[in-house]
A and B are shown apart, each in its own frame.
Chain A
Amino acid sequence: MTPIQKKVCLVGAVSVGKTSLVNRYVHSLFSEKYLVTIGVKIDAKTLRVGDVGLRLLLWDLAGDDDFQRLNASYLRGSAGYVLVADGSRGHTLDAALDIQSRVASAVGPIPFVLALNKSDLRDQWDVDGRALAELAARGWLIRHTSAKLGTGVQEVFEDLARLLLAPASTPPGPP
């Protein structure tokens, strides 16, 4: 049976490791230069959630900063997204919160997972535990990942996949 396709975007500030996460998860088809040229690189990954086959189309969107704003066009039609922040750079979590609100206003309340990347750099950790607890309390799904070591990567996508297949429950609201 043909798997269900879902478009999933990876969003986050510059250098938080979105592309590294994707590269950890799939064997990349296209060159990373697309990111700097047209601002997106797309990969696909098939996985199973229970009995259901799922084909994730991972749109790795170019990092959001002052020079390159998130292209809202690329978000259209997304079924969910992975919000990525760098645990060793606290301000990227603030950026992620900002991005999340912009995504939600562009595509509506769709499922997402927050990936706190670079968990291998625990000694340089720069994220306030209370802020995270607050987000979790709001219903956010938060995963600590290390694209470098591979820890938590698969789980981020599996969590999101489960959310995508869940019967239209209320997704976590914006802050």
Chain B
Amino acid sequence: MNPHPSWSSSAEVSPEKASGRSRDELAEIRELLLGPEKQALEHLRERLEDPAQRAREVSGVLPQAVALACRRDQQLASALVPAVESALGVSVRRDPSPVVNAVFPIIGPAIRRAIAEAFSQLVQSLNEALDSSFSLRGLRWRFEAARTGKSFGEVVLLHTLVYRVEQLFLIHRASGLVLAHVQAPGIQAMAPDAVSGMLTAIQDFARDSFHAGQSEFLHNLQIGELAVWIESSPLASLAAVIRGQAPPEFRAVLQEALERVHREHSGDLEAFRGDAAPFEVCRAELEACLRQKLLERRRSPFKAVALVVLVVAAAAVWAGVKIRDQRRWASYVQRLRAEPGIVVTATGSRGGRHYVAGLRDPIAAVPADLRAALGVDPARVEEDWQPFQALTPSLVLRRARSALQPPPGVQLRLEGDVLFVEGLAPADWIRTAAARVQRLTGVRDVDLSRLADAEAATLVLRQQDIEGQQLRFDDATRLASGQEPILTALAEDILALHQAALVRGKPLTISVVGHTDQTGTDEQNLRISLQRAEWVTQNLVARGVPLHILQPVGMGAQQPLRSDLPPEQWLLNRRVTFRVHGPASDSPPP
């Protein structure tokens, strides 16, 4: 389309030239007509293509845009959360101090509040803990608490305090109005503004009364154990109510706090007309001055040492008792294991008590006796014994002994499973012995062959004793010297033998045999020998022997002591001998 057809039709030129010229002209015209728009378009394109330029422009409208978006809804805030979070993370990683500096004013009061709360809880728990303590001092403090109406924890705190800053007043010096007031936890402060006014009035009163200059001020008020320390600057005062003895350095703390307040709020102080809101931030500064110091309880080292010694001693005693107990128990168990007739199957300890279990032959040793012998405490022992019969030789023997009840003089001996019963025993016991060892566990057979009748043996012995004796004579019927006691002993032996024979129902006869030497005739000798036998019989009867058991016999010289005796010893043949017929021997009397 050609908007200007008249220009091409009026020109007398070649087509090429004409067309080239018309292009130049066209461009010129276009330039003339559309130049400003083109420039504006160019400028716009440059702006859009240049990021730096675009950033500069966006930065100009960004705050406004953000404000608008925030006013509209939460979308922008939600969209920014991840970016802000990661930005904070990056910042802290790179250098934590900017974030720390930024949050410091918030963290300080938060921590102080947390501490104050914790302290209040501590006082509370102190109350509860000490409620149950009944030491003399505790009772005294409890009495004091009841008397003064304070809580027990408070009384304890007061007694253990070196000092405690209870309240702080930041006071507008000219009006006496309170700018800020803080108090320690648990402190009941009465109308701080009125108190602040009175403190100011007192300052004025003191100054006026003693004609002090305006810059002078009352530094210190002391009321019993309470003190009010006052620091003043031209526009404000800082008064600290202190219980106890604060160190002098604390005054410097107050001065510095007041100086900081003054520095940071001098404008607010000058413009103060009763609105304390600008001084709200000073509370943190004041709270930092709410200090306290508790009494360091000096524990006597002696007590501590004594306590340690006591504990160690107690532990040592306990360990000693424990070890001794353990040793006794071990040797008891060892002893049980060694004991015949006892089989330990389980041992150990549970619930602080020892226990042992197993099998026990009723004839075996009694565990309680073993325990007692070793000093094991029966209260700390549990035992469980099942009965059984042991085949240990010593136990079998013990069981046999228990069944037989052998009299002294009888020995029991086990060879394999044969029980040998040996020795002398009363005839009655011997008769029943065989029956008693029937069905004895561990004994297959009993050998009683070496068991003898004790009384019969005694009789034999006595008989042998009597028959072994002889009485020698000097003359026909005169005993040789020293033969008298033999006669007496003989009489006693014969009497005893007589008694034994009576008990056993056996007949007893004793031949009293007289002898002579070879001198003289046989007839003489026979007569003399009989005389001797009769003389002895009479003398035995005289000593209590019954006459009917004695049988005097004369043998003359027929039975010399020895046939080869030389004549000078023939005298020895003048004698009386005895022969017993009866209980032990079956030889009939002659």
- B273 beta carbon closer than 8 Å to chain A: yes
What are the interface flags for B518-562 relative to A under an 8 Å C-beta threshold, 1 for contact and 0 otherwise? Answer: 000000000000000000000000000000000000000000000
A90 neighbours in B (Cβ, 8 Å)? none
- B276 beta carbon closer than 8 Å to chain A: yes
A22 and B247 CA atoms in complex are apart in Å by 41
Chain B nearest Cβ from A30, distance in angstroms: 7
- A74 beta carbon closer than 8 Å to chain B: yes
Residue of A nearest to B277 (CB): A2
A43 and B191 CA atoms in complex are apart in Å by 9
Which of A43, A44, A71, A79 has its CB near the most chain B CB atoms (within 10 A)?
A44
A156 and B174 CA atoms in complex are apart in Å by 25
- B362 beta carbon closer than 8 Å to chain A: no
Whether the Cβ atoms of A73 and B207 lie closer than 8 Å is yes
Name the interface residues of B246-299: CB closer than 8 Å to any CB of A: 273-277, 280
Residue of A nearest to B175 (CB): A77
Residue in B190, B205, B207 whose beta carbon sits within 8 Å of that of A39 in the complex: B205
A78 and B172 CA atoms in complex are apart in Å by 12
A38 and B206 CA atoms in complex are apart in Å by 9
A42 neighbours in B (Cβ, 8 Å)? 176, 194, 197-198, 201
- A131 beta carbon closer than 8 Å to chain B: no
Residue of B nearest to A73 (CB): B204
What are the interface flags for B116-133 relative to A under an 8 Å C-beta threshold, 1 for contact and 0 otherwise? Answer: 000000000000000000
* B contacts with A, residue count (CB < 8 A): 25
Residue of B nearest to A42 (CB): B197
Which of A59, A77, A79 has its CB near the most chain B CB atoms (within 10 A)?
A77
- A55 beta carbon closer than 8 Å to chain B: yes
* A contacts with B, residue count (CB < 8 A): 25
Q: A2-B276, A74-B201, A79-B273 are in contact. Are A29 and B191 (CB under 8 A)?
A: yes
- A7 beta carbon closer than 8 Å to chain B: yes
A6 and B175 CA atoms in complex are apart in Å by 8
Which of B178, B202, B205 has its CB near the most chain A CB atoms (within 10 A)?
B205
A74 neighbours in B (Cβ, 8 Å)? 201, 204
Q: A76-B174, A77-B175 are in contact. Are A5 and B193 (CB under 8 A)?
A: yes
A5 and B278 CA atoms in complex are apart in Å by 13
What are the interface flags for A40-76 relative to B under an 8 Å C-beta threshold, 1 for contact and 0 otherwise? Answer: 1011100000000001010100000000000101101
Q: A57-B193, A78-B175 are in contact. Are A30 and B198 (CB under 8 A)?
A: yes
Name the interface residues of B183-217: CB closer than 8 Å to any CB of A: 190-191, 193-194, 197-198, 201-202, 204-205, 207-208
Residue in B178, B190, B198, B208 whose beta carbon sits within 8 Å of that of A5 in the complex: B178
- B177 beta carbon closer than 8 Å to chain A: yes
Q: A4-B274, A7-B176, A77-B174 are in contact. Are A44 and B193 (CB under 8 A)?
A: yes
Residue in A1, A44, A59 whose beta carbon sits within 8 Å of that of B201 in the complex: A59
A74 and B202 CA atoms in complex are apart in Å by 10
Whether the Cβ atoms of B205 and A38 lie closer than 8 Å is yes
Residue of B nearest to A71 (CB): B208
Whether the Cβ atoms of A79 and B274 lie closer than 8 Å is yes
A7 neighbours in B (Cβ, 8 Å)? 175-177, 197, 274
Pick the 5 closest A-B CB pairs, nearest first.
A77-B175, A77-B174, A73-B204, A42-B197, A38-B205
Query: What are 23 of the A-B contact pairs (CB < 8 Å)?
Result: A2-B275, A2-B280, A4-B273, A6-B274, A7-B175, A29-B190, A29-B191, A29-B194, A38-B202, A38-B205, A42-B176, A42-B194, A42-B198, A44-B193, A44-B194, A71-B205, A73-B205, A73-B207, A76-B204, A77-B174, A77-B175, A77-B176, A79-B273
Chain B residues with a Cβ under 8 A of chain A: 172-178, 190-191, 193-194, 197-198, 201-202, 204-205, 207-208, 273-277, 280
